[in-house]
Amino acid sequence: MADTQVQTMTGAEALVSTLADHGVTACFANPGTSEMHLVTALDREPRIRSVLGLFEGVATGAADGHARVTGGPAMTLLHLGAGFMNGGANIHNAKRAWTPMINVIGDHAVPHLRYDAPLTSNIMGLAGPNSNWIKSADTVASTGELAAEAWEASFGPVPGPVSLLLPADSAWTEGGKSGKKRARPSLRAPDAARIEAAAKQVKSAKKPVILVNGTCLTKDGLAHAGRLSAAGIRVLTDTFFPRQARGAGTFIPERMQYFAEAAMADLEGADLMLVAGTQVPVAFFSYPGKPSVLVPEGCTPYIIGGPETDSAAILAALADALGAKAAAGVAPRDEHAMPSGDLNAMTVGMSLSRHMPEGTFVSDDGVSNGLPCFLMTQRALPHDWMMLTGGAIGQGMPLALGAAIAAPDRKVLCLTGDGAGMYTNQALWSMARENANVVNVVFVNHSYRILNIELARTGAGNPGPTAKSMLELGQPEIDWVKLSEAQGVPAVNATTAEEFDKALERAFASDGPHLIAAHVPAR
Amino acid sequence: MADTQVQTMTGAEALVSTLADHGVTACFANPGTSEMHLVTALDREPRIRSVLGLFEGVATGAADGHARVTGGPAMTLLHLGAGFMNGGANIHNAKRAWTPMINVIGDHAVPHLRYDAPLTSNIMGLAGPNSNWIKSADTVASTGELAAEAWEASFGPVPGPVSLLLPADSAWTEGGKSGKKRARPSLRAPDAARIEAAAKQVKSAKKPVILVNGTCLTKDGLAHAGRLSAAGIRVLTDTFFPRQARGAGTFIPERMQYFAEAAMADLEGADLMLVAGTQVPVAFFSYPGKPSVLVPEGCTPYIIGGPETDSAAILAALADALGAKAAAGVAPRDEHAMPSGDLNAMTVGMSLSRHMPEGTFVSDDGVSNGLPCFLMTQRALPHDWMMLTGGAIGQGMPLALGAAIAAPDRKVLCLTGDGAGMYTNQALWSMARENANVVNVVFVNHSYRILNIELARTGAGNPGPTAKSMLELGQPEIDWVKLSEAQGVPAVNATTAEEFDKALERAFASDGPHLIAAHVPAR
């Protein structure tokens, strides 16, 4: 450094500048009194863009979306234990997406903690279970070093959210020092012996399948997946995954069925299940008399590498070991005709395939309406599809916000159910504030439709009026256009396939956020 | 029982009916797949009213409000660890209000847990820190008994939230049994020796004060507080308290100042601080160079009884020990004149004092605008004032919803900041659905105004554009009328004192929920 003058820094400044030194470029924040010095430290750090959320679940979901686009962690700024809990569901989701994320949680000054002030809580206890790493910077001298350690820890071995607590006195005191620069950790290289063993098993299997996730779902990874497919191995992705490259020119893997009995029927006869970049598949929920592990009898699961491994490299090495050639057919572009008539998830998907610009990032929290859209866009222009992996609905709009901040030159499409969208509807305001290029499609069916399906599947009996009412959102009907406009995002209703198609085309053609309330029947 | 036929019950039914047997009358719910059997069990239990929230923070805040009105716990229904976290901030607030609350958290079936399905989390770990009692009903046989134990545990010794985990298989399996009926626990009776010691100290003190909370703030408790005041003891309440009876005919205690330096100045010269129904006062936040404990030098704190004690009985016994007579003057009714001109918290408070019907429950999450309203309504018609005690803003509207469900023949007034209100704006939808008699007053200043004040107080330096922008909510401005109408609650803007006064009068005169966006300057 040219500047040898000794600079004094507060702990907050040491933390923030150390994260910036490591390449962190965004902070999604909902600050309170105990974080005021972090706010002014962010003010002085031009390398980090600060984005305000009106609710912490917006901040943590956006940090997840930002990281899925950039590959590195974003920072969040949360207000004590209560702020952590408000952001907790989307931290859970991020953990299940193996997303690196640095949650900076403000705390009371250390000498103040013993007095049990109203906002005091056991943050270590609350945040510990969903943090892959958690420490508290209880001295100002530790702030920079722990920031560097947190950044490194967010990469794994399995990437995920980490928590760094910052007591207010560590934040405000002078004497902060930059943390030592760390090298960026990589995912593990594949284990050669396991690949050899897998290749051997494939050769003696009648119906081998491989379940893939992680870097398998990059454009490169899918090219190798196509080679395995050409060599006779059925390629399936997890039902939900953090991000998949797709569209014209990309190999199309199959996707594991959501419902356990459908998944088991689909896998019938498979005698080998290789696993790359994920775990042996399990049912999302348990049901009376239905299996938990989704591996049919007579089928041997074999994990070549879990989520800590660069699974694209597994596919490449396995394809080489099997002497597999390049895949024959990859998906050509297939533009659906303009749909007409009743609006439903299928016609929405057709319009998406027509109008999604190349490079679109999709944030899919569409619940019961997600799958038809997914299927109809297999041969759209090349794009990336991001899903809710942790099951805590309400992630869609925050994730889209974060992706849009990370990729301002790309379009982001958010698919969300109306039930899901209400959880963190405050994300709309941040989209308006940041002029984020997000087209929000809300599937309005005035129902927790998935729960109506699940009610029957769980055998919970014939629903009476109370049970039915607990799954209906129609009394009163939520006016999504007003809800969106109230927060500064222009919005329209669409009730036919034609209306939706035109609204979508217009939304993609203009800058900034938009919302389309897609009125689809609940059936 | 006349019916001697053996009834079979699922675990869910045993849990729900046992809670109903103990007098639980409301369940605030946001269910998911793992709670379907709880939903159908609630369907068959006419003694419990089920209220759906679109976000778990609405459910937990409403359960708090319901309990503050009824005195007994309401039940919540939360979807696994993610659902708990979404409701966590208002559970924190309930813990800080000593509110009994039974959080029933659905979990995966026990045999499914080991497979680490996407929604699996360490619920014991996440919920433990803010639960006064936590157990998991891992067998169907335990469901009813643990429900009874949870109910009992919610009463204390210090009342608060308890967590009962219900794995899906315990919920769906037949073989549930009702839990043994428990007697309702009472708060502890005062300690006679401590009262005697306190009386002795008062006699030798020059400037005694007593800090009160809990049952001290009931109408009865305040009558005894008035006797102590007449006997020369200054009576102060905590800055924030769960519920206080006030208005014409009720003794008016003073209230501890929020900011530490103001509190210390106010207490200057006090040489004895008795404490009844609360703790020794501490600053809400810590600030560089400012005290944590709000007891001036030379002043001895003496705890007669904490929040586990029936503090009204302490006041009665202490007043008796001091031979204190009935208080001379209690507040007469004082109806302010119709305010005019600029709208601000003071003129809002004047209108409140004019139009609040007798028996109104106030839910105060008004942050920087709360205090003027509080002061202006001291001599309104008799009413009850409920406050945010835990500091996690966003409680106001959910708390009001719960109070309205508990007291359908009373009016509820919700005061909320615009920043605070956005956290759990979904409460509006539940108010519309339940036709809850809540008048919501949102102080619209497009700012986290309290943080602008705190920024200066914490000495975090001169705020630059990023810091300023993190505390401003004005870009874009939120349209509260649209946000409210979108969720089915009629709403109006008020920009002058006259407009507000008329809007308030109209809102109180009609049934169901209303919202008034009170545009007050941020200064």
- pLDDT single digits (tens) A368-400: 899 999 999 999 999 999 999 999 999 999 999
Instruction: Give the pLDDT of residue B2.
Output: 44
**Average pLDDT estimate for A274-282:** 97
Using a CB-CB distance cutoff of 8 angstroms, which residues of chain A are in contact with residue B487? Answer: 476, 478-479, 483
Chain A neighbors of B122, CB-CB under 8 A? 129
pLDDT in tens, B352-404: 999 999 999 999 999 889 999 999 999 999 999 999 999 999 999 999 999 99
Give, in order, the Cα–Cα distances in Å from A38 to each of A81, A174, A448. Answer: 17, 13, 39
* Average confidence (pLDDT) over A16-32: 97
pLDDT at A465: 85
Q: What is the mean pLDDT of chain A?
A: 95
Considering only CB atoms, B39 lies closest to which of A88, A467, A480, namely A467
When computed from its CA atoms, the radius of gyration of chain B, rounded to whole angstroms, is 24
Residues in A closer than 8 angstroms to B85, CB to CB, are 85-86, 88-89, 92
- C-alpha A11/C-alpha A17 separation (Å) is 10
Question: CATH number of the domain at A11-172, out of 3.40.50.970, 3.30.70.560, 3.90.700.10, 3.90.1150.10?
Answer: 3.40.50.970
- Closest-CA distance of chain A to residue B381, Å: 30
Query: How far, in Å, CA of A391 to CA of A186, rounded?
Result: 27
Q: How many CB atoms lie within 10 A of CB B510?
A: 11
The pLDDT score that the predictor gives to residue B512 is 98
Cβ contacts of A122 on chain B, cutoff 8 Å: 129
A478·B429 Cβ contact <8 A? yes
Of the candidates A455, A469, A486, which has its C-beta nearest B483's C-beta?
A486
CATH 3.40.50.970 domain span(s) along chain B: 11-172, 345-519
Query: A36 to chain B: which residues are within 8 Å by CB?
Result: 451, 454-455, 458, 460
Determine the residue among B13, B286, B428 to mutate to test chain A binding: the one whose Cβ has the most chain A Cβ atoms within 10 Å: B286
Question: Which residue in A13, A92, A258, A284 has the most chain B C-beta atoms within 10 A of its own C-beta, making it the best mutation to test that interface?
Answer: A92
In the β-sheet with A272-276, what is the strand arrangement from edge to edge? A254-255, A234-237, A208-212, A272-276, A300-305
Per-residue pLDDT band at B464 (split at 50, 70, 90):
confident
- SS3 at position B217: helix
Token output for B81:
């660890």
Contact assignment for B129 to A125 by CB distance below 8 Å: yes
Of A390, A465, A466, the CB nearest to B118: A390
Interface test with chain A among B16, B38, B43, by most A beta carbons within 10 Å? B43
B467·A55 Cβ contact <8 A: no
Residues from chain A that touch B425, judged by Cβ atoms under 8 A, are 425-426
Residue A454 is predicted with a pLDDT of 83
- Where helices occur in B231-297 by DSSP H, the ranges are 260-267
Q: Searching chain B, which residue's CA lies closest to the CA of residue A40? A: B467
Question: What are B13-41's pLDDT values in tens digits?
Answer: 999 999 999 999 999 999 998 899 999 99
Where does CATH 3.40.50.1220 sit in chain B? 192-321
pLDDT digits (tens, 9 = 90+) for A214-226: 999 999 999 999 9
Nearest by CB to residue B451, choosing from A32, A394, A423, is A32
CB within 8 Å: B86 and A82: no
- Residue of A27, A38, A112, A479 for testing the chain B interface, max B β-carbons within 10 Å: A112
Span A100-121, average pLDDT:
96
Would you call A86 and B423 a contact, using CB atoms and an 8 Å cutoff? yes
Cβ contact A92–B463 (<8 Å): no
Higher pLDDT, B2 or B15: B15
Of all residues in chain B, the one with the smallest CA distance to A45 is B466
Subunit contact B57:A86, Cβ cutoff 8 A: yes
Which member of A50, A392, A476 has the closest CB to residue B433?
Answer: A476
Beta partners for B16? Answer: none
* pLDDT band, very low/low/confident/very high, at B328 (cuts 50, 70, 90): low
- Give the C-alpha distances (Å, rounded to integers) separating B262 from B252, B266, B374, B455, B461: 20, 6, 18, 17, 21
| Cis ω for the linkage preceding A465 (within 30 of 0) | no
Residue A289's nearest CA partner among B281, B270, B109 is B109
| Fold exhibited by the domain B345-519 | Rossmann fold (3.40.50)
Percent of chain A with pLDDT over 70: 98
Q: Do B115 and A465 touch (CB under 8 A)?
A: no
Q: Is the pLDDT of residue B184 over 50?
A: yes
Residue listed under structure tokens 């005694």: B208
**At residue A4, does pLDDT exceed 70?**
no
In this complex, which of A81, A83, A455 lies closest to B36 when CB atoms are compared? Answer: A455
- Identify all chain A residues contacting B168, using CB atoms and an 8 Å cutoff: 285-286, 458
Give the closest of A39, A284, A293 to B470, CB-based.
Answer: A39
Bond into A100 cis (ω within 30): no
Chain A residues with CB inside 8 Å of B471's CB? 31, 39
Nearest to B172 among A126, A279, A288 (CB): A288
**Shortest Cα distance from A516 to chain B (angstroms)?**
15
Q: DSSP class of residue B284?
A: S
The tens digit of pLDDT for each residue in A409-436 reads: 999 999 999 999 999 999 999 999 999 9
Give which of B66, B59, B64 is closest to B83, Cα–Cα: B59
The yes-or-no verdict on residue A2 having pLDDT over 60 is no
Q: What is the pLDDT of residue B509?
A: 97
B230: closest CA of chain A, how far (Å): 31
Tokens encoding A31: 């600050």
Contact state of B425 with A423 under an 8 Å Cβ cutoff: no
Backbone φ and ψ of A453, nearest 5°? -70, -45
pTM: 0.97
3-state secondary structure A347-361: HHHHHHHHHCCCCCE
Residue A490 has pLDDT above 90, yes or no: yes
Return the residue of B nearest to A239 by Cα: B118
Edge to edge, what strands does the sheet with A361-365 contain?
A244-246, A383-387, A361-365, A412-417, A438-444, A514-519, A491-494
CB-CB contact of B73 with B67 (8 Å) = yes
Backbone φ and ψ for A397, nearest 5 degrees, come out as: -70, -45
Probe site for chain B from A13, A36, A56 (most B CB atoms < 10 A): A36
- Of the pLDDT bands very low, low, confident and very high (cuts 50, 70, 90), residue B6 is low
For the ranges A306-315, A330-339, A414-423, A426-435, the lowest mean pLDDT is seen at A330-339
ipTM, 2 decimals? 0.96
For residues A503 and A492, the answer to whether their CB atoms sit within 8 Å is yes
- Is the pLDDT assigned to residue B1 strictly greater than 80? no
Looking at domain B192-321, which CATH architecture does it have?
3-Layer(aba) Sandwich (3.40)
Question: How far off is chain A from B173, nearest CA to CA, in Å?
Answer: 9
State the count of interchain CB pairs (< 8 A) between A and B. Answer: 311
State whether B423 and A55 contact (CB < 8 Å): yes
CA atoms lying within 13 Å on the CB side of residue B181: 5
Which residue, among A30, A213, A487, A515, would best test binding to B if mutated, counting the most B CBs under 10 Å from its CB? A487
